[in-house]
Amino acid sequence: MKRRMRNMASVICALLLVFAAAGVDAAPEQKNVILATTTSTQDSGLLDTLLPFFEKETGYFVKTIAVGSGQAMAMGRKGEADVLLVHSPDAEKQFMKDGFGSRRLLVMHNDFVIAGPGNDQAKIRGLKSSVDAFRKIAAAEALFVSRGDNSGTHAKERTIWWKAGVKPEGRKWYQQTGLGMGLTLNVASQKRGYTLTDRGTYLAVKKRLALDILVQGDENLLNVYHVIQVNPSKWPKVNAAGARAFADFMVSKRVQKIIEDFGKDKFGSPLFFPDAGKSEDKLGR
Amino acid sequence: MDLIFEGVVKAFELLFGLDPEVMGITALSLRISGTATLISLVIGISTGTAVALAEFPGRKIVISLINTGMALPPVVVGLIVSILLWRSGPLGFLDILYTPTAIIAAQFIIATPIVTGISLAAVQQLPKKLRLQVLALGATRLQMVWILLREARLPLLAAVMAGFGGVISEVGASIMVGGNIKGYSRVLTTATVMETGKGNFEIAIALGVILLILAYLINLVLTRIQQYERPR
C-alpha cells in the first residue's frame, strides 16, 4: 500500500512539473497585453484587421477578451486587463474619477440605430427622435429585445428609456438576452422585435437579418469609443508600457486612416469614423 | 435547412482546402483536450481503482462526491478556475490565465471526476473472488491491480471516451479561462460561438461538423481497441 502511495505521489509531482513548465512556456514575461473590449469591435472584424500591425510593430502579443463595456471596465477595476477599448462614456468617466484609469483617449465614433421588423408595428420608421421612438414602442407594447448585459449599448438603451420616462424592466414586451450584439440581433430578427444596435455590428451581420434600420441620425444615438489605460499605481501587475503602446497605436495617424477605410469595400460605407485628437463635445454636431 | 447543407459543404471546403486558421484551431482543440484527458486518465484511473479496492470510513460519501463531480457544469469550473488564476487571485503568480494551459487545467478538472467515476464502477463490478484468486496465486498487489485493470479494460475505454467527449465538446470553461484569442487559445467550440455571434452561420456549422468528424474518428479508434479480442 505504502509503495503504491509513493508511486502515485511521484506521478502527481511529475504532472505538476509538466503543468508548471507548460505555463512558463506559454507566457513570456510582460510581452502580453490584455485588451478588454466590447463585442462590437470584434464582431465587426476591426480588431482582426488592426492587431496584426500592432503586434508586428511592437512585439507585444495582444490577448483580446471581447465582453461588454461594463464587464471590460469591471476587469479594469480589478487590474485583470491592461487596456480597454470601450463605448460607455458615463461609466468611463466614473471609472476615471475613481482612479482606475491613467489615461483616456478618444478613438472613433459611429452611431447607434434602432432596428426593427419591416412591418413596424409601433410605427417608428423615420422618426427623428430616439426618445419618441422608444415611447411609441412602449405604448404599442411591441417586443423590444435588449442586450441586458451592462454593455455600452445597454447603457445607452437605458439612458433613452430614462429620457422617455418608461420603465421597461419586467414588462412582457421587454426581453433581455444577456448576449453580445450579433447574437442579440439574431434574437430580435427571429422574434420580429425592435432592438438598439451599433451600426457597425448591424452592417456586419445584416445579410442574415430580417431587420431594417428604422430610426437613425438622432444626436442621442452617438456611439463614442475611447481607449483607456488601466492605472498601474492601483494594480502593479498591470502591463503599463504595453497599455501605453496600444493606446498610442490606436490614435496614431496610420491607424486612424485604417479605421476610416475599414468596411468601405465590404459594406459600401465605413463602419467607424476616426476622431483622435478631437474634443468629445463637438462630435456629431 | 439550406443553411445546414451550406455548412456541411463549407466544412469540407475548409477541411480539404486545408484552411490554415481552421487547421490551427482543430489541432489546438485536439492538443488541449487530448492533454487534459491524458492527465485525467492517470489521476482518474488510479483514484477510481484505489477507492474501488480500499475499505475506509466515509467511503460512500467519497463515492457520492465523485459521482456528483461527473455532473460538474463546465461554466462553474471555468468561473472558479478564472478567479483562482486572476492576477489578484491565489494562483495569479503562475500568469497562465487566457492561455491554452489554463484551458487544459479547467478541462482536466471537468474530465477527472468522469474518468474516476467510471473507473471506480468498472473495477468494482469485477467479481471479488478474482482478487483473492490472483493474490492467492502469489501476485504482488501491483500485479493484482494490473490484472484487474486489464479485466476491466472495456469499461475503462468507455471512461476515456466519456472524458474526452466531455471536454472536446465543452465551451463554457474554454471561453472563460482561454478568452477565445485568435490564433492562440481559440478552439473549435469557442470559435463556433463567435462565428454565430458574427452571423457567419455557415462557418459556425462547418466548425461543428469538423468537431463531429473529429469525435467520430477518435471514438472509432478507441472502439476498435476496445472491441479487439486477443487470439487465445
pLDDT digits (tens, 9 = 90+) for A237-247: 999 999 999 99
pLDDT band at A3 (very low <50, low <70, confident <90, very high): low
Residue where the block lists cell 510582460: A30
Query: What's the confidence (pLDDT) of residue A29?
Result: 53
- Count of other CB atoms within 10 angstroms of residue A139: 11
Q: Give the residue extent of every domain in chain A.
A: 30-110+224-279, 111-221
> Is B2-226 a domain of CATH 1.10.287.110?
no
Q: pLDDT, tens digit, for every residue of A113-160? A: 999 999 999 999 999 999 999 999 999 999 999 999 989 999 999 999
Q: What is the pLDDT of residue B197?
A: 83
Interchain pair B179, A65: CB under 8 A = yes
Give the residue from chain A lying closest to B185, CA to CA: A63
Under the banding of pLDDT at 50, 70 and 90, the label for residue A7 is: low
- The answer on pLDDT for A264 being more than 70 is yes
Percent of chain A clearing pLDDT 90 (strictly above)? 73
Interchain CB distance below 8 Å, B199 and A209: yes
- The closest of B117, B73, B71, B80 to B102, measured between CA atoms, is B80
CATH code: domain A30-110+224-279 is 3.40.190.10
pLDDT for residue A8 is more than 60: no
| Ranges of residues in chain B whose predicted pLDDT is under 70 | 229-232
Reported as a single tens digit per residue, the pLDDT across A215-244 is 999 989 999 999 999 999 999 999 999 999
In degrees, rounded to 5, the angle at the alpha carbon of residue A108 between the alpha carbons of residues A105 and A111 is 130
pLDDT of B15: 81
pLDDT of amino acid A23? 44
Q: pLDDT (tens digit, 9 = 90+) per residue, A25-79?
A: 444 457 899 999 998 888 888 999 999 999 999 999 999 999 989 999 999 999 9
- Check A26 against B197: CB less than 8 A apart: no
Mutation for B interface: A18, A32, A35, A77, most B CBs within 10 A: A32
Q: Say which of B95, B182, B201 has its CB closest to residue A27.
A: B95
Whether the complex's predicted ipTM is more than 0.85 is answered with: no
Q: Judging by beta carbons within 10 Å of its beta carbon (0-12, 13-18, 19+), is residue B52 exposed, middle or buried?
A: buried
Q: Which residues are A61's β-sheet partners?
A: A32
pTM: predicted TM-score of the whole model, two decimal places: 0.85
For domain A111-221, the CATH class is alpha beta
